[in-house]
Structure formats: C-alpha cells, structure tokens
Structure 1
C-alpha cells in the first residue's frame, strides 16, 4: 500500500509539472460515482485515521483530522450530495484540498482510482452545474464527473456545517 501511495504521489508530482497538466486528473470514487479531481485542487492523500467529531454539526461534516500536521475539516461528500453516508473501510481516503485554495478542508472518498487522462475521454453534453461541473465518458464507457473544489468551497451549503 505504501508503494502504491508513493508511486501515485510521484506520478501526481510529475503530472503537476508536465505540459499535459490540464488533462491529468485524479480519479476518485465518491459513493457509487466516479469523479475526477484536478491535481491543482488536490493536496495530501491519507488513509482515514482518527476524525474528531464536532457536536451540533451536519451529519455530512465528519469532524476534524490531522493531515500531516495540519488540522482540516473532513466532509463526507457523498452524504452532502444526498446519498447515504460513506462506509469507512481500508480503501477510503481523506483528500485534503490543495494549498492554492487556501482552505483547510478535505473530503472523504471511497477509493482513489489513480490518474486519468481527460484527453482520452469524451466530454458529455449537458454538464451538471455546481460541485460536479463536467461529465466525461472514458473508452470503457464509464461516466466521470469532474469535482470543482473551488465551487464547492464557495457553496453556502458546504460552508454551513452547524445545525
């Protein structure tokens, strides 16, 4: 597992500095959905450890976690989007938001699926507005929704964690 994370981290770093940066995306599974996350918006990826619950918050706000010495708020994005809560298992990961966003937050994802190339996908018509901006279809016929973290952290519902 550590080798996989090290390799993924190295590939993400390489993709950040490559000329194809805009087409390299991190593939995620959030609930039952396949999602894409821009490498510019992705920060640290860590296994789910202790998450300190915060009283009187929305059910989708899981609490606070220490991610490499930084305290971040953790949101179950599947639950925020109206699906059931994510069952935390050994494949789940916490993905902190990238430093360029200047927001100490993170999302819980069911699985990290590795890097995906948008150039090899087809943009689907009728993009979804909001947190999932565009839809793409890969060569296997899988539909991927692009997660827009910038829009997410500006969403009043996301910012209102109190009950």
Structure 2
C-alpha cells in the first residue's frame, strides 16, 4: 500500500526539489544494488521504484524470470537482475524493490533489485581505469569516493539484448 503524506510534507519536498534544481544539484542517476553489484541508471531511463508486489509465476521460463507483476492495472515482466547475470537470486521481500524500466522504450519490464540506493550525481564518480565490462548493457564502470565500483546501466541495450528478451525455456 502506498504511503500517504500530508500536504505540508509534499509542499516542503517540492520546495526542496525546486531549490536543488535552481542551485545546480543535478542528481540524474538512480543507484541500486543487484546482488553484490552497485548499479546506476539514468533517471530518464528508469521509472518508478516500488516495494515488490505479489508476483504471478509463469511456467516454462528461465529461473531469472520472476513472473508477472500487476502495477496499477499494467502488467510488467519481472527479471531478477542478479540471477539474470548469474548472481545469487534476490528474494522478493525485505529491502528488495521493483525498478520499472522500459516504459520509455515501449517495454513493460521491471528489474527485481536487492535495494534502491537513492539519487546520485555523476560528479560523485570517476571513470574506473580497469578493463571494460564484457556485458553489453554495462555502459560504464565508475568508482565513487570510497573506491567502490559502480556499473552504469545502458537500459536500451539491456532491453534489446536477445538473452534478456528470451525468458522462455527452449
């Protein structure tokens, strides 16, 4: 169930966001954790982040396909983002969240992630000097000021990847 906020809280939040926009605080990335990896996605490519609703299983699908979620009358295919990348499966409880992606690209897809880590600014990261990641949906490897590795998600490449699109068992 959605959390209700008072009109006063909404107005204060709106004033704070407008002030941040005017002062140049450009938090254009959303941070999330999937398994053991930290990820960043452009806000323009992400949708809503919400607690995991009940998932309807789909038979004859790959283990990383979590099922179908009904979000306000719209059905989303749910992909366990960690398991999709051969990581440990994410339990759809506790801190786990659904990150709705793909609506901008005409795909009703949601990523099951371990936890949402909040809004981030590109200025908080430096390019990682290591070798590029072999996964085509990794746009960039970054390091934060605590030297933690972050991977930037290329949403269009993920949504177009044949492995991501083929959730059925052959």
**TM-score clears 0.5:** yes
How many residues end up aligned between the 2 structures? 157
Does 2:160 correspond to 1:147?
no
Separation (CA, whole Å) in 1 of partners of 2:32 and 2:67: 21
SS of residue paired to 1:153: helix
Which of 110, 132, 142 is residue 136 of structure 1 equivalent to? 142
Q: Return the index of the structure with the highest Cα Rg.
A: 2
Separation (CA, whole Å) in 1 of partners of 2:160 and 2:43: 19
SS of residue paired to 1:40: helix
Which of 73, 88, 92 is residue 84 of structure 1 equivalent to? 88
Question: Over the residues paired in the alignment, what is the CA RMSD in angstroms?
Answer: 2.8
SS of residue paired to 2:157: helix
Separation (CA, whole Å) in 2 of partners of 1:32 and 1:152: 19
**1:88 CA displacement:** 2.5
SS of residue paired to 2:56: coil
Q: Which shifted more, 150-159 or 121-130?
A: 121-130
When residues 34 and 106 of structure 1 are mapped into structure 2, their CA distance, relative to the original with a 3 A threshold, is: same
When residues 158 and 21 of structure 1 are mapped into structure 2, their CA distance, relative to the original with a 3 A threshold, is: farther
User: What are the superposed Cα offsets for residues 115-149 of structure 1, whole Å, 9 maximum, x if unpaired?
Assistant: 11111210113332412221111111111101111
SS of residue paired to 2:44: coil
Q: Which shifted more, 123-132 or 67-76?
A: 123-132
Kept in 1: contact 2:103–2:109 (CA 8 A): no
Alignment of 1:10-159 (within 5 A): 24-125=28-129, 126-129=131-134, 130-159=136-165
| TM-score in terms of structure 2 length | 0.82
Q: Which shifted more, 83-92 or 26-35?
A: 83-92
Moved over 3 A (4+): 1-4, 18-23
Kept in 1: contact 2:26–2:121 (CA 8 A): no
Any unmatched runs of 5+ in structure 1?
A: none
| TM-score in terms of structure 1 length | 0.85
